[in-house]
A and B are shown apart, each in its own frame.
Chain A
Amino acid sequence: MTGHDIITWLIQKYCISEEEALHLGNLLVKYGYIYPLKEPRSLVLRRDESPYRFQTPYFWTSTQWPATELDYAIYLAKKNIRKQGELMEYEKERYSLLHKRINHTWDFVVMQAREQLRASKQRRKADRIVLECQEQAYWLINRPHSEQYQNHDPIMQGCLPSNPWISDDAAHWTMNADVVPVPTRLRVERWSFSFMELLSDTMGRKEFMTYLEKEFSAENLCFWQACEEIRHGENSRISEKVNEIYKNFLAPGAARWVNIDSKTMYKTLEGIKRPHRFVMDDAQMHIYFLMKKDSYPRYLKSDLYKNMLAKAIVPQETKKSVFPFMRRQRHSSPSPAQAATQATEEDGRCCHTVPLLEPIPSSSLSGK
């Protein structure tokens, strides 16, 4: 049947509008009850003469047949054997990933694949093609997703170039220090997990600041940072810090005025009259969610982030030494107690201690 037929039938049967029929039809395709023949990877219902076919009930999503990795591996193995090199890019990736993960049952997988191919050869060609299409459609939708962070867990996957505790080589720590010229790939990937991950990494935060400057909304992050300082800082300096924030971010005509809704602004300004540790909480949360829902997703799609990801290094695994029992010299590192006193002097010149009323040219903020 054609896409056009499907839509017409839906409109007639359920007495619904064309738009709704299109939407319903799309859902049917997305969940695999109907599959397109011409462009199997594009799971969309087209309102024209493109051909579609019903999926066999065996493969319906409603049967809730658990699509295990083993079955998917068998399917990919079959495809690989049948037509060498026919696997798509992402399929090749998943194939090798599965090969690593369920290596212990790989013989079983290959054997099953061969058996199934042999059994299908005994069918008529037309039937075989139909079955192949159905299976392909099924796996397009149901391929097992495993979104775990296993790659990022050194105790489970090891770490590159080597786990310092095993190899006595602190290279892993040097590469992942707070400030490095080029970060590692895993680190940059981690910034995409959540907004909190991005902000808690010093480099991630700097990068995000650079991005915000380009968008002329850097004052949001500066405001958020200043509010954090109040919440976690000394009791004695609360009034002083609240005053600073007011002058720099909230006062009418302030140099780095932040855009908060009027209700929150009114509440905050009232609260400032008697400053306490949590007086900025509402405003801070408003700005935080603004950044999280708006700037952060755009940052992840931006060229700045994509370039960072492309530039990021994947360290080479260090070759195991010929004499594994010869220990390397384990070098000590400077104590944070020493390093921190130097850093606080530098950090003093940060964005929230900015002179009043002077327009800040954005170029002077990037790079200390």
Chain B
Amino acid sequence: MCDQTFVAATFGPCENCSTPSPLINIYIKSEPINYCSLCVEMMACQGLQKGESLVSLKRESESLKKKLEEERKKLCDVELNQVAEKIEVLGALSIKTRRVLKGHGNKVLCMDWCKDKRRLVSSSQDGKLIVWDAFTLNKEHGVSLPCTWIMTCAYAPSGCAVACGGLDNKCSVIPLSMDRNENLAAKKKSVAMHTNYVSGCTFTNSDMQLLTSSGDGTCALWDVESGQLLQSFHGHTADVLSLDLAPSETGNTFVSGGCDMKANVWDMRSGQNIQSFESHESDINCVKYYPSGDAFASASDDATCRFYDLRADREVAVYQKDSIVFGASTVDFSLSGRLLFAGYNDYTINVWDVLKGTRASILFGHENRVSRVRVSPDGTALCSASWDNTLRWATDFVTENK
């Protein structure tokens, strides 16, 4: 694994407003300027200047995009599946559902594992949030929230709290208390405020910061304690549907995917959009980093999942089959990154061999579309949440086949 490339983020007083903050280095007609992210946004909102018109600007941006694509193509040398020919074929997988978690009264929209490898939190359309011990099938906490369609939930790294958000345009953090009599909904604390629904949320490396993505086209980083907005990320031109934090040494980047068919990589410190990938043909429903942090996968309504390499700056694999016509709504990698689990709207989960690009297995069992698929933190099991009101966890019965 080679060293990660960095965005050279500079700090200092903004050349426009003089407040000291992380600066974005941009060029205007080849002149470098260093503005803070707020000033860059204000500049972008200024009216057209003399000699410019919407049409001319559009033409300019199209020609720049073409040039970028040409440059990218020049660096192409070999395809991923060619390199992967040397690697042996995967053995037969025998992944079967083992247990079904029943308890939600309506569509389960999202789930997340706890770091202790056996607990998980799930949220559903009827406004309920349940914390389960998936191993014993016990429900440990249940919270009823006033809003319906809790589209996203996340477990805090410490295991002491959960975050959730959805149509209420907010993302709230709920501390988990062991006291049975306590009404957890009352202790809910609103942290993030967006102007449209919250589609994804995740804690960063600690319980203190929350990263959210929203239907208002932005992502934002919040301080949990004060509810303060630390950084906002603008660049998507439509709803942002998903985000994932990079497992990198410096822990500064994350990727987001949205209805504008783009997947963007952001620097958390400066708010800058570092890389952008636009090869899907429809909304990107989910993005997930590869375990090494050098690549990520995306699932889209165009019935394909794609694999992008950050260092090569391009898409390196497409996982598709003629027989798959329904959109993919969720993806996750196995612990080593060799397998990609993708949940589709045709109620199945396809397991792809990441390197060879072929399908390794297919899982049936759900009776409605699969909304979320997540591998447990130690890679021993896979949990899937579905609109059929259940969660199922499955694992590979490797030992039984020996």
What is A's interface to B at a CB cutoff of 8 Å? 66, 68-69, 101-102, 144, 146, 148-150, 152-159, 162-166, 170, 172-173, 176, 193-196, 228, 231-236, 271, 274, 276-279, 281, 285, 288, 292, 317, 330-333, 335-341
Q: In the complex, A271 Cα to B189 Cα: how many Å?
A: 33
Q: Is the CB of A155 within 8 A of B334?
A: yes
Closest approach, in angstroms, between the C-beta of B290 and any C-beta of chain A? 12
B55 contacts A by Cβ under 8 Å: no
- Chain B residues closer than 8 Å to A340, beta-carbon distance: 158-160
| Given known A-B contacts A278-B269, A336-B114, A337-B160, A166 and B11 have beta carbons under 8 A apart | no
Flag the segment in B101-109, B222-230, B320-328, B366-374 that touches A.
B222-230
Q: In the complex, A279 Cα to B22 Cα: how many Å?
A: 10
Q: Is the CB of A288 within 8 A of B249?
A: yes
- Chain B residues closer than 8 Å to A165, beta-carbon distance: 98, 135, 380-381, 393, 395
Can you pick out 23 interface pairs between chain A and chain B where the beta carbons lie within 8 Å of each other?
Answer: A68-B86, A150-B338, A153-B379, A155-B93, A155-B339, A155-B381, A156-B91, A156-B398, A157-B398, A158-B398, A163-B396, A166-B98, A173-B118, A232-B204, A232-B205, A234-B223, A234-B224, A236-B225, A276-B20, A281-B269, A332-B133, A336-B160, A341-B160
- Chain A residues closer than 8 Å to B88, beta-carbon distance: 69, 101-102, 146
Q: Is the CB of A153 within 8 A of B398?
A: no
| Given known A-B contacts A154-B379, A170-B135, A317 and B205 have beta carbons under 8 A apart | no
Closest approach, in angstroms, between the C-beta of A231 and any C-beta of chain B? 8
Q: Is the CB of A148 within 8 A of B114?
A: no
- Chain A residues closer than 8 Å to B115, beta-carbon distance: 336
Q: What count of chain B residues pass the 8 Å CB interface test?
A: 71
Contact of A163 among B178, B335, B338, B380 (CB under 8 A): B380
- Chain B residues closer than 8 Å to A170, beta-carbon distance: 118, 135
Q: Is the CB of B378 within 8 A of A154?
A: yes
Q: Is the CB of B338 within 8 A of A153?
A: yes
Contact of A153 among B21, B208, B334, B399 (CB under 8 A): B334
- Chain A residues closer than 8 Å to B98, beta-carbon distance: 165-166
Contact of B395 among A102, A155, A281 (CB under 8 A): A155
Q: Is the CB of A148 within 8 A of B118?
A: no
Q: Is the CB of B226 within 8 A of A235?
A: yes
Closest approach, in angstroms, between the C-beta of A333 and any C-beta of chain B? 7
Chain B 360-402 interface residues, beta-carbon cutoff 8 Å to A: 375, 378-382, 393, 395-400
Q: Is the CB of A155 within 8 A of B382?
A: yes
Q: Which residue of B lies closest to A284 (CB)?
A: B250
Closest approach, in angstroms, between the C-beta of A187 and any C-beta of chain B? 10
State the 10 A-B residue pairs at the shortest beta-carbon distance, nearest first. Answer: A336-B159, A153-B336, A232-B206, A158-B398, A149-B336, A235-B223, A337-B176, A165-B395, A165-B381, A154-B380
| Given known A-B contacts A66-B85, A234-B225, A336-B119, A155 and B158 have beta carbons under 8 A apart | no
Q: In the complex, A153 Cα to B88 Cα: how many Å?
A: 16
Q: Is the CB of A156 within 8 A of B334?
A: yes
Closest approach, in angstroms, between the C-beta of B254 and any C-beta of chain A? 14
18 further contact pairs, Cβ within 8 A, besides A155-B335, A159-B380, A338-B178: A102-B88, A148-B87, A152-B335, A153-B379, A163-B395, A164-B118, A196-B247, A196-B248, A231-B205, A234-B226, A235-B226, A271-B11, A276-B20, A279-B11, A317-B399, A332-B133, A336-B158, A336-B159
| Given known A-B contacts A232-B206, A274-B20, A155 and B118 have beta carbons under 8 A apart | no
Contact of B396 among A101, A158, A341 (CB under 8 A): A158
Q: Is the CB of B230 within 8 A of A155?
A: no
- Chain A residues closer than 8 Å to B393, beta-carbon distance: 165
- Chain A residues closer than 8 Å to B160, beta-carbon distance: 336-337, 340-341
Chain B 146-182 interface residues, beta-carbon cutoff 8 Å to A: 158-161, 175-178
Q: In the complex, A122 Cα to B401 Cα: how many Å?
A: 43
Closest approach, in angstroms, between the C-beta of A360 and any C-beta of chain B? 26
Chain B 228-261 interface residues, beta-carbon cutoff 8 Å to A: 228, 230, 247-251
Closest approach, in angstroms, between the C-beta of A106 and any C-beta of chain B? 13
- Chain B residues closer than 8 Å to A236, beta-carbon distance: 225-226
- Chain B residues closer than 8 Å to A166, beta-carbon distance: 98, 395, 397, 399-400
- Chain A residues closer than 8 Å to B95, beta-carbon distance: 155
- Chain B residues closer than 8 Å to A101, beta-carbon distance: 88, 91
B78 contacts A by Cβ under 8 Å: no
Contact of A337 among B90, B177, B398 (CB under 8 A): B177
B117 contacts A by Cβ under 8 Å: yes
Q: Is the CB of A156 within 8 A of B20?
A: no
Q: In the complex, A101 Cα to B87 Cα: how many Å?
A: 11
- Chain B residues closer than 8 Å to A277, beta-carbon distance: 230
Chain B 104-143 interface mask (CB, 8 Å, partner A; 1/0): 0000000000111111000000000000010111101000
Contact of B86 among A66, A159, A235 (CB under 8 A): A66
Q: Is the CB of B20 within 8 A of A144?
A: no
B68 contacts A by Cβ under 8 Å: no
B76 contacts A by Cβ under 8 Å: no
Q: In the complex, A271 Cα to B177 Cα: how many Å?
A: 40
Closest approach, in angstroms, between the C-beta of A336 and any C-beta of chain B? 3
Closest approach, in angstroms, between the C-beta of B210 and any C-beta of chain A? 11
B1 contacts A by Cβ under 8 Å: yes
- Chain B residues closer than 8 Å to A172, beta-carbon distance: 380
B329 contacts A by Cβ under 8 Å: no
B209 contacts A by Cβ under 8 Å: yes
Q: In the complex, A337 Cα to B87 Cα: how many Å?
A: 43
Which has the most chain B C-beta neighbours within 10 Å: A194, A233, A337, A340? A337
Q: In the complex, A276 Cα to B224 Cα: how many Å?
A: 17
Q: In the complex, A157 Cα to B397 Cα: how many Å?
A: 9
Q: In the complex, A159 Cα to B398 Cα: how many Å?
A: 9
| Given known A-B contacts A155-B95, A165-B381, A166-B98, A232 and B399 have beta carbons under 8 A apart | no
Contact of B135 among A149, A157, A158, A164 (CB under 8 A): A164
Q: Is the CB of A155 within 8 A of B375?
A: yes
Closest approach, in angstroms, between the C-beta of A280 and any C-beta of chain B? 11
Q: Which residue of B lies closest to A331 (CB)?
A: B136
- Chain A residues closer than 8 Å to B249, beta-carbon distance: 195-196, 288, 292
Chain B 1-42 interface residues, beta-carbon cutoff 8 Å to A: 1, 9, 11, 20-22
- Chain A residues closer than 8 Å to B336, beta-carbon distance: 148-150, 152-153, 156
Closest approach, in angstroms, between the C-beta of A124 and any C-beta of chain B? 35
Q: In the complex, A262 Cα to B288 Cα: how many Å?
A: 40
Q: Is the CB of A154 within 8 A of B22?
A: no
- Chain B residues closer than 8 Å to A162, beta-carbon distance: 399
Q: In the complex, A338 Cα to B175 Cα: how many Å?
A: 11
Q: Is the CB of B228 within 8 A of A332?
A: no
Q: Which residue of B lies closest to A150 (CB)?
A: B336
Q: Is the CB of A164 within 8 A of B380?
A: yes
Closest approach, in angstroms, between the C-beta of A179 and any C-beta of chain B? 14
